[in-house]
Structure formats: structure tokens, C-alpha cells
Amino acid sequence: MIKCNDSLRDKLRNLLAEAFSRVSDEAREDNRKEVRNIVDEINACEPFLVAIIVRQPCLKSWASRMAHKIKYRSIMLNLKGAKNTDLRLRLHLGYIAPEKLINMTAEEMTSEVQQMANEQIQEKALFECERGSPKGTTDQFMYGRCGQRKCT
């Protein structure tokens, strides 16, 4: 493994390579037909080279080290996540351009299963919000017109 003098570059490349090295094993274990059909294509891509290709736009777009910290954590969290095999696979095969990865939101990086679960949570929250909550009463305030303490 060739190292450069910049510790950030080396660390980013190694973490990306570690994440992409799992793609071929995950593809072999995947039961989906469309994934099994491209196992040879997946094995042809070298994880270390994919990591370098993905790393280049990241380093170009992040001018300062502090500016990229939050985005870097989000990307690495999603790439290393055990349930997010689709993102690693799509990046590994080049279906997602590395330049697009930098601009993706955390919601766009999540797996399809998690996206559907998030949508269900949002729909449920919207339904609960529209239905309204029961109004409570309190006696800590006094109504100005009639002077009663029973307020809603």
C-alpha cells in the first residue's frame, strides 16, 4: 500500500477501502437475483482503487479539515453501516458518481428498507398530527372575561 504524506488522505483511503472490501462477500451472500448476476463484475473492481476514486472528489470539495467533518462522518457512517449494502454496491460499481456522493443527504444515502421505514414513520406522525390531540384543562390560569380558573 502506497502512503502519501497527508494523514487525512491516508486515513480516508484506508477507511473507504475497508468499506469496499466487504462488497464482494456481501454480494455472494445476497439472495437477490440481480445482485447474483453481477458478482463477476463486482469481483473485477479492486476495492483499493475504488476507494481512491471516491476519495479524490471528497478531498477536492472539502477546503478545510473542519468544514468537512460532519459530512465525512455521515458518509463514513453510511458506507460502513451493516445494513447499507446497496450504497456500497452502487458506489463500487460506479452507479453513483463519487461527485454525487458528496452532495447526497443522509436520507439519500440510507438503504431502501430504511427509507421506507422513515416514510412510514413520517406518515404516522402526519396522521397523528392531523387527528389532533385531546385538549387538557388547567386551573393555573384565570380567564379574563368570566374569572373562571377552568381553562383549556
Mean pLDDT of 56-68: 66
Q: What angle do CA 40, 16, 2 make, to 5 degrees?
A: 95
- The single-letter DSSP state of residue 135 is P
Model's pTM, two decimal places? 0.62
Reply yes or no on whether the pLDDT at 39 is more than 80. Answer: no
C-beta of residue 12 within 8 angstroms of C-beta of residue 47:
no
Mean pLDDT of the chain: 77
Helix axes 85-93, 69-80, angle to 10 degrees: 100
Give the separation between CA 26 and CA 31, rounded to whole angstroms.
10
Count of beta carbons in the 10 Å neighbourhood of residue 20:
23
Mean pLDDT of 82-104: 83
Top-confidence residue, 152 or 146: 146
Dihedrals φ, ψ of 106, to 5°? -65, -35
- Identify the pLDDT of residue 117: 92
Give the separation between CA 89 and CA 96, rounded to whole angstroms.
9
Grid cell in block for residue 145: 372575561
Beta-carbon contacts of residue 112 (< 8 Å; ≥ 6 apart): 86
